[in-house]
Structure 1
Amino acid sequence: MAKTTSVPKPQGRSRIGNGKDLLPGVNGRSATMRRYREIYAQLVRDMGGDPSEAKSIIAKRSATLAIWCEDVEATMANGGDLDIGEFTTATNALRRLLTDIGLERKARDITPTLEQYLRQNHGEAA
């Protein structure tokens, strides 16, 4: 007999699983976290707005690497050192992750369900 897995009820899910947090135990008001949310939200929009869990995980890792690269670039622009090997490795990893979720922006599917269509065009009786 095959095992089936069920999706936990919202009250049984973690704060990350139910969408209240993106990362565990992180102050969401820090500049880094605000930037992380910006990048992650844009990646989700670019994927059409409803990514699979796997794509969401890849988008989170992409946001992390993007922030790391931005910090390294800012350090370099301010006269600091840049480890070109470390930077190249990170940017190549970022490129591969972004390729996995798709580099092209996808339109969000706004096609109404049959129920929504009937409600809009034939009133509540449908």
Structure 2
Amino acid sequence: MPRKRTSLKPLFEAEPGKVRLRTLNDLDGRTAAAQKAQAFVERIEADLGGADRLSTAQRTLVTRAAVTAAIVEAIEAGALMGGDIDVGAYVALTNNLRRFLTTLGLERVTRDVTPRLAEYIAKPPPGAT
């Protein structure tokens, strides 16, 4: 069976002389797929110590990993419901996901709470004036 070619046209909104790239932020977030991808983003960011501690490069990899994880999960669900899957695409996606996650780190990073603790200690007790 020949592979279906994917066009990049749906990814762009084009007017004569204008091209606008769409991003995940352009999604309204109501679809199950968008919600699943966003949940993966949040969980991976938390595992890495919080979104505020990530570099731009890490954020980019987190997004790619989250979208890939959502796609892999959808493929797996389809297979478990008796559907046909493209095994080559599935293997490629899971390998890419593994590489993204390995690059980001597979161990949880503890969140630094020291500044918050210092703020808490500096704060006067309730009822004190």
What is the TM-score normalised by the length of structure 1?
0.71
Q: Is 1:76 aligned with 2:64?
A: no
Write 1 or 2 for the structure with the bigger share of strand. 2
CA separation in 2, counterparts of 1:73 and 1:117? 46
Match of 1:31 in 2: 32
2:47 is aligned with 1:46: yes
Distance in structure 2 (CA, Å) of the matches to 1:76 and 1:118: 54
CA RMSD between the two structures: 2.2
Instruction: Read off the aligned partner of 1:95 and give its amino acid letter.
Output: R
Matches within 5 A, 1:6-25: 23-25=24-26
Judging changes above 3 Å, is the alpha-carbon distance between structure 1 residues 120 and 84 closer, same or farther for their aligned structure 2 residues?
same
In the alignment, structure 1 segments of 5+ residues that lack a partner are 1-21, 122-126
Q: Is residue 118 of structure 2 the alignment partner of residue 93 of structure 1?
A: no
How far is the alpha carbon of 1:112 from its aligned partner? 2.0
* Per-residue deviation, 1:84: 1.4
TM-score (norm 2): 0.69
For residue 106 of structure 2, give the secondary structure of its aligned residue in structure 1.
Answer: coil
Cα separation, 1, equivalents of 2:103 and 2:78: 29
CA positional deviation for 1:120: 4.4
- Deviation for aligned residue 1:34: 1.2
Post-superposition Cα deviations, 1:17-67, rounded to whole Å, max 9, x if no partner, equal xxxxx7232111221111111110000000001211111110000011001
Alpha-carbon distance in 2 for matches of 1:80, 1:118: 58
- How many residues align structurally? 100
